[in-house]
Structure 1
Amino acid sequence: MDQIGLLLSGAALFLNGLMLLGKADEKNVGVFNLFVGAFQVIVPFYLIITSDQSNWILYERTAIFLFGLTYLYVGVTVLKGMQGTGLGYYSLWVSIIALVYVTVSLVHYHDVVNAITWILWSFLWFLFYVLNTSKKDVSAYVGKVAIVQSWVTLTIPALFSLTGVWGNKDMYNMWGIVLVASIIYFVYVGYRLFFSQPKKMILK
């Protein structure tokens, strides 16, 4: 059920990226965020209730809440036409919490790929903080990052897991390379946006 949540999160993030690029209607995307957010809040409650409720089980299920509440917050903010400052500061909080997941992935689970994934998610949540609290228009950059991450950190890993491919060592190593390549791409695009063309806040 966790993997189904990841798959749906990939869809929601993909649509959010398209919305930021002006290619998808805000209200339509907002409604989908509500659907996925509700799923991502209800499911962890069920998984916690049916589990042994050990500290690591609670720790892992809490991560689902972080996504679910984000999507619910985005959906309500968009549909109600509210200012996104609250969403922005919530995203900052989550980006900090995500760094704890990075550390635990390395120290407790010794899982480098998962750690890199959490670094990418922390970066994305930080971008949502900047997007909603800064006067600079960084929507194009955030949209591009969101679309790439929707595939490399959520959709494709979820599909691999559902089809039983994800546990393969070669796949694990290859995906680490894919994630690092994504980081390099984000740095390159960010450099073009903020340094190569400092007067243009929207990436062409």
Structure 2
Amino acid sequence: MASVGLLYVGAVLILNGLMLLGFVDARAAAPLNFFVGGLQVITPTYLIFTADGDANTILAASGLYLFGFTYLYVGFNLLAGLDGTGLGWFSAFVAGCALVYAGLNFGRLDDAAFGVIWLYWAVLWALFFVVLGLKREEWTRFTGLVAVVAGVFSGAVPAFMLLTEVWDDYLTESAIVLAIVFLASLALAPRLRGPQAPAAEPAPELREGAAPPSHRADVPTARPGTTTTGERR
């Protein structure tokens, strides 16, 4: 069940990354954030209620709420023109939790591939904190790229591998490939840092709470993702 949600987490991360890069209008991205955010709240609630007290199931489901609340928060910010500071500081909390989940996957859950994925999510949500919580807008384009990479390689690809039941056959190989891809994307930071082009300038509704201009196709807000700790989605 959670693997289905992971697939759509990949979709929303790609969309939000493209928004940060200036290719998607902010208000146009809001509906998918609501759809996926709602899914990532309903799914863990169902898993917990049907876990019959199993600690590992509850632990795995708990991570989903972090991302479900993030996406819902993003949707409200985009439609209501709220300042992004609150979302930024919540993203710092998510980043810290992601580090714990990464450690649990490397150790208790014996899933190095998802351990690598959780580390990348920790980096992504830390970037959301930098852009929104600390107002360091020069990191916006780089954060958008990391979100797109996360959508493909931490969302869509693992989801299809889980749905086709081949994930467990390639845990070691997946961990190595994912680590290489993620490190390569992070190496682009120096090239993508700096002021955005005019078409991708951060939308004022995410900085000062101004009313969102409907004609713009630029917006940097944190949106991110995703899934349960080490759970076979």
TM-score (norm 1): 0.91
Equivalent residue runs for 1:1-204 within 5 Å: 1-137=1-137, 138-168=139-169, 171-194=170-193, 200-202=194-196
Structure 1: distance between partners of 2:135 and 2:95: 20
Q: Deviations over 1:121-147 (max 9, x none)?
A: 111110111110233322110000000
Amino acid at match of 1:141: F
- For residue 167 of structure 1, give the secondary structure of its aligned residue in structure 2: helix
Structure 2 residue runs without a partner (length 5+): 201-233
Please provide the CA RMSD for this pair. 1.7
Gaps of 5+ in 1: 195-199
The Cα shift of 1:155 comes to 0.6
Q: How many residues align?
A: 197
Post-superposition offset of 1:152: 0.5
Does structure 2 conserve the Cα–Cα contact (< 8 Å) formed by 1:136 and 1:201?
A: no
Over residues 24-59 of structure 1, what are the superposed CA-to-partner deviations in whole Å (9 max), with x where a residue is unaligned?
121121111001101110121111111212222111
**Identity within the alignment, %:** 38
Is 2:17–2:147's contact at 8 Å kept on the other side of the alignment?
yes
Amino acid at match of 2:159: A
Mean alpha-carbon deviation: is it higher for 103-112 or for 81-90?
103-112
Judging changes above 3 Å, is the alpha-carbon distance between structure 1 residues 193 and 140 closer, same or farther for their aligned structure 2 residues? closer
Equivalent position amino acid for 1:173 in 2: T
Q: Residue type matched to 1:182 in 2?
A: V
Call closer, same or farther: CA 1:111–1:20 in 2, change over 3 Å: same
Between 83-92 and 56-65, report the one with greater CA deviation. 56-65
Partners of 1:75 and 1:201 in 2: CA distance: 25
